Each structure stands twice: as C-alpha cells, then as structure tokens.
Amino acid sequence: MKLLRVLIFSTIFYCLPLNAQNYYFPPLSGSQWDTVSLSGLGWNIEQLPPLYSFLENNNTRAFIVLKDGKIALEKYFGTFTKDSLWYWASAGKTMTAVLVGIAQKEGFLSLSDTSSKWLGSGWTSLPPEKEKRITVWNQLTMTTGLDDGVADDDCTLPSCLIYKADAGTRWAYHNAPYTLLDSVIYKSTGETLNQFYFSRVRTKIGMNGLFIRSGSYNNVLYTTPRSMARFGLLMLNRGRWENTAVLSDTGYFSAMTNTSQNINLSYGYLWWLNGKSSHMLPTSQLVFPGYLSPQAPKDMFSALGKNGQILNIVPSLGIVTIRMGDSPDNSLVPTTLNNQIWERLNQVIAPSTNVIYTEKADFPDKFALSQNFPNPFNPETQFDFQIAEQSRVKLAVYDVLGREVAVLVNEERAAGSYTARWNASAEMSGVYFCKMTADGFSSTIRLLLLR
C-alpha cells in the first residue's frame, strides 16, 4: 500500500501544471536581469575556478546558468560579451520545433499533414506512394526514412532526398528534412521563418537575433547568449513567459520534450532528452545503452548544436544552462562536452542538491566503502568511504536496471576518510546500489529506499 500511495502521488504530481513555479522573468527590454548569490544558494564557490578553466580551455565564449530565472553564473571569455552575437547551429532546431507547435495551435497546419501538402508533390526523389507516407511529424522526429548518407546531407533538392526506409521505421539525424520545415511554416502560415519567429516568440520574450542563410540550404539562428537563456527560461516554464502563453498547447509541449518514437528514446521533437535507457547519435545506427549525459540530471532536455552550442533545461532543479563557443571537437552534437561540463558544474551546485562532503582527519591504509546508514532509509542516507592515497574517485548510485541515478563523487581526492550523503526524495521506493571505484578498487553495496 505504501508503494501504491507513492505511485498515486507521483502520478498526480506530474500531472500538475509546472508553470505554477515562481520563476523570475527579466524585463522585455533593456539589460536588467536580477542575479542570485551563490552563497545564498549554498553553492560551492571554490569549485568555480576549475569549471571556468575547463570552459576556457575548451574554446568557450559564453556560459550562463539561471536558477529559477535569475542569473547565478555568467562568464564570458576573450573579447566576447553579453552583447555579442553567436550562432546556435543545430541547437536552433528547437526554436523551429516551438514555431511548428505554435503554427499547429493557430490552425495553420497539423503534424499529421503529409509533407507533400506543403512542399508539393515531387519534393523528394521517392515514388509518390512512398513520399506520401512522410508527414510533418516525421520531419520533427528525424524519421522520414530519407537517406542521411548522401554526399551532402544539408541538400534539400529532390535529387538529394532519396529513399532509405519507409517513414517512421528508421531514426537518422538528417538536416535536410528538418530544414524543409522552414518551407512548411512559410507555405502554411504565409509568413517567412523570421516573420513568424519575430511575431510569435522574439517580441514576446525579449529575444534578439534572426535566422540567417548559411551556405546553399541552411537557415541558422544567431542571437546573444542572454537571448538563448531567455528561450531556455521560456522552456523551463513550459512555454509561458510570465503570464503570456507563447506556446499554449501543453500537449504539444509534453510531446516535444518526451520520447517521440521507439527507436531513439532520447529524442523528442528536435530536442535531445536525458534520463532514457538508451540513445542514438548522428551518423550512426547504433543504439547505445544508458543516458545521453550520465553526469547531468536525468530530467534534463537539451538543444545541442555543432561546435558546442548548448542549451540545457532542468525542471527538477529550476536550472537553465547555456554554452556558446568554438569547437572542442568535431561532433555534430556536443554530448561529450555537455557531460564534461556537468561533471564540473555538479561540484559547484552539489551542496544545494544531494551531496555533502565531510572530511575526517585520519589516513586509512586501504580503500573501503562501508554499508550506508541508515538502511533502509527515507529519504536520506549517508556513505562512509576511505581513500588510501590520492586518487580519482567515483561514487555513484544505480537502480536495479543498472541506470545511473546519482553521482555523489567524481573527482580527484586526497587520502582520507569521507562521508557523502544522498537525498533520494526524487526517486521511487525500491532497491538501489552504490558503487565506488578508485585506483583499481571497486566495491558495491545494496540499499533499500522505503517510503
């Protein structure tokens, strides 16, 4: 019965409108944006230098963290400033997803519309019966079935859009079908992409910037870092800017930010999703087990673009993060970089979430992880562990399916005895496992959360 009550409460909780959260919204014009002190949040200021050093060494230009709408961290590198314009790359796909949702809500189109309705017959090189199977929904979910292995996957000409599989049966990260959503918006609403962006989003939330043609096919969004943060705040508040409903279709918002198909569980409507049991990546048909970003909160959803353009939204923490900059690697979506940033950001925000370190003044002669206490527990428990010599230590909690649900420690630590505390208030009753690894040592203990 106790577990049943937990399930019922969780169902009710997740059905409540999350926009009841008391977020701060900056004025629509001007540079005023309230800040929040790190000490007031209980964040670890001493961990900022390693975070900023990592960001700078990996070609970052702008980094912002919002907490409940207010600026907690804002850092610029080199000559970059809050007024500098920068491109979103594929992170801008998420803006298009929002615009399509608005267009549907206003009655201009439906996700079930065939793409041919708006792009005309023959927009691909497919036989008519195959082309008619492709819908606007397929374009939003990367399931058109068109071949992403062509010489130029940005090319939107019919000669470049060739058959690979039936629509809806194959997930592949493919720019061209996405780009053609711009034409779907224009043909259905009678407004250009920029006109629709300006009137439906930009002016309503105080953004700047515009979509600019890049190369022969792509339309790329350019804004300032704070404008990207404004968009993130809009998403944190589920499509509402203070009292203004920008994307008022709550059903569309939920579908957009949750698994959209059963092939790549970590993909919504052009948004990347954390916390799923598996994920896929661009240019590959492999399905990788585990979360997209294991170091990040599992409810995070993200806009990710080439060369490390990142926008993260974490509803459970009321946090938005943005990173703009140059490439640290050559990935189309910066999943590795995002994970590495979170690994360091966790050390800043951990004191206000679920981790407290207590260093004890002794020098053990062996590595050890003691059984947690109390056990069973509800909702907090603590782990005592020993480090015999300076080592890279990881202490993480896993559920019975082997999914990582919390990282309590993941850093270089000096020899000594420590305590880490885990608050599992966001987790369901059940069995969990805590694993410690350090310098060849590995130990796992079993825990029981009872509500």
The structure tokens listed for 413 are: 């630590």
CA–CA–CA angle 294, 298, 301 (5° rounding): 105
Q: Does the pLDDT at position 8 exceed 60?
A: no
Please choose, from the candidates 89, 50, 145, the residue with its C-alpha nearest in 3D space to the C-alpha of residue 332.
Answer: 89
The structure tokens listed for 425 are: 């208030």
Last residue of a domain, one of 351, 378, 405: 351
Q: Which residue has the higher pLDDT, 361 or 302?
A: 302
% of the chain surpassing 90 pLDDT: 75
**Which pLDDT tens digit goes with each residue over 393-437?**
899 999 999 988 888 887 777 788 888 888 887 788 999 999 999
Q: What is the mean pLDDT of the chain?
A: 91
pLDDT of residue 15: 36
Domain for residue 154, yes or no? no
Same domain, 7 and 26: yes
Residue type at position 335: T
Domain that holds residue 392: 357-449
**Which pLDDT tens digit goes with each residue over 213-246?**
999 999 999 999 999 999 999 999 999 999 999 9
Same domain, 55 and 203: yes
Same domain, 233 and 284: yes
- The mean pLDDT value for 193-214 works out to 98
Q: Which residue has the higher pLDDT, 11 or 24?
A: 24
Q: What's the rounded Cα separation, in Å, for the pair 60 and 36?
A: 23
Domain for residue 149, yes or no? no
**Burial tier of 316 (Cβ tally within 10 Å: 0-12, 13-18, 19+):** exposed
**Which pLDDT tens digit goes with each residue over 157-187?**
999 999 999 999 999 999 999 999 999 999 9
**Which pLDDT tens digit goes with each residue over 276-300?**
999 999 999 999 999 999 889 889 9
The structure tokens listed for 382 are: 């603590």
Q: What's the rounded Cα separation, in Å, for the pair 331 and 427?
A: 33
Q: What's the rounded Cα separation, in Å, for the pair 35 and 69?
A: 9
Same domain, 347 and 427: no
Domain for residue 172, yes or no? no
pLDDT of residue 409: 84
Other beta carbons within 10 Å of 169:
12
Last residue of a domain, one of 318, 351, 384: 351
Residue with tokens 């409507």: 269
Q: What is the CATH number of the domain that holds 13?
A: 3.40.710.10
pLDDT band at 21 (very low <50, low <70, confident <90, very high): low
**Which pLDDT tens digit goes with each residue over 96-146?**
999 999 999 999 999 999 999 999 999 999 999 999 999 999 999 999 999
Same domain, 221 and 263: yes
Domain for residue 103, yes or no? no
Domain for residue 125, yes or no? no
Residue with tokens 């208030």: 425
Q: What is the CATH number of the domain that holds 398?
A: 2.60.40.2550
Q: What's the rounded Cα separation, in Å, for the pair 96 and 102?
A: 10
Domain for residue 169, yes or no? no
Same domain, 368 and 338: no
**Which pLDDT tens digit goes with each residue over 60-80?**
999 999 999 999 999 999 999
% of the chain surpassing 70 pLDDT: 92
Please choose, from the candidates 115, 125, 196, 201, the residue with its C-alpha nearest in 3D space to the C-alpha of residue 164.
Answer: 125
Last residue of a domain, one of 308, 328, 351: 351
Please choose, from the candidates 189, 108, 120, the residue with its C-alpha nearest in 3D space to the C-alpha of residue 161.
Answer: 120
How many folded domains does the chain comprise?
Answer: 2
Torsion over CA: 33, 194, 88, 333 (sign): positive
Residue type at position 48: L
Question: In Å, how far from its chain's centre is CA 267?
Answer: 10
pLDDT band at 40 (very low <50, low <70, confident <90, very high): confident
Same domain, 324 and 269: yes
pLDDT of residue 407: 83
pLDDT band at 14 (very low <50, low <70, confident <90, very high): very low
Same domain, 396 and 263: no
Same domain, 411 and 301: no
Same domain, 228 and 212: yes
List of long-range contacts for 100-103, beta carbons under 8 Å, 24+ apart: 100/136, 100/140, 100/181, 100/184, 100/185, 100/269, 101/247, 101/249, 101/252, 101/253, 101/256, 101/269, 102/196, 102/200, 102/201, 102/246, 102/247, 102/249, 103/185, 103/188, 103/189, 103/196
Same domain, 333 and 434: no
Q: Does the pLDDT at position 365 exceed 80?
A: yes
**Burial tier of 124 (Cβ tally within 10 Å: 0-12, 13-18, 19+):** buried
pLDDT band at 362 (very low <50, low <70, confident <90, very high): low
Q: What's the rounded Cα separation, in Å, for the pair 44 and 38?
A: 7
Q: Does the pLDDT at position 451 exceed 90?
A: no
Domain for residue 177, yes or no? no
pLDDT of residue 6: 37
The structure tokens listed for 373 are: 């206490």
SS3 per residue for the chain: CHHHHHHHHHHHHHHCCHHHCCCCCCCCCCCCCCECCHHHHCCCHHHHHHHHHHHHHCCEEEEEEEECCEEEEEEECCCCCCCCCEECHHHHHHHHHHHHHHHHHCCCCCCCCEHHHHHCCCCCCCCHHHHCCCEHHHHHHCCCCECCCCCCCCCCCHHHCCECCCCCCCCCCCHHHHHCHHHHHHHHHCCCHHHHHHHHHHHHHCCCCEEEEECCCEEEEEECHHHHHHHHHHHHCCCEECCEECCCCHHHHHHHCCCCCCCCCCECCCCEECCCCEECCCCCCCCEECCCCCCCCCCCEEEEECCCEEEEEECCCCEEEEEEECCCCCCCCCHHHHHHHHHHHHHHHHHHCCCCEEEECCCCCCCEECCCECCCECCEEEEEEEECCCEEEEEEEEECCCCEEEEEEEEEECCEEEEEEEECCCCCCEEEEEEEEECCEEEEEEEEECC
Same domain, 68 and 191: yes
Distances from the Cα of 62 to the Cαs of 26, 87, 223, in angstroms? 19, 12, 12
The structure tokens listed for 76 are: 């610029």
Domain for residue 193, yes or no? yes
Q: What's the rounded Cα separation, in Å, for the pair 142 and 134?
A: 11
pLDDT of residue 72: 98
Q: What's the rounded Cα separation, in Å, for the pair 63 and 60?
A: 7
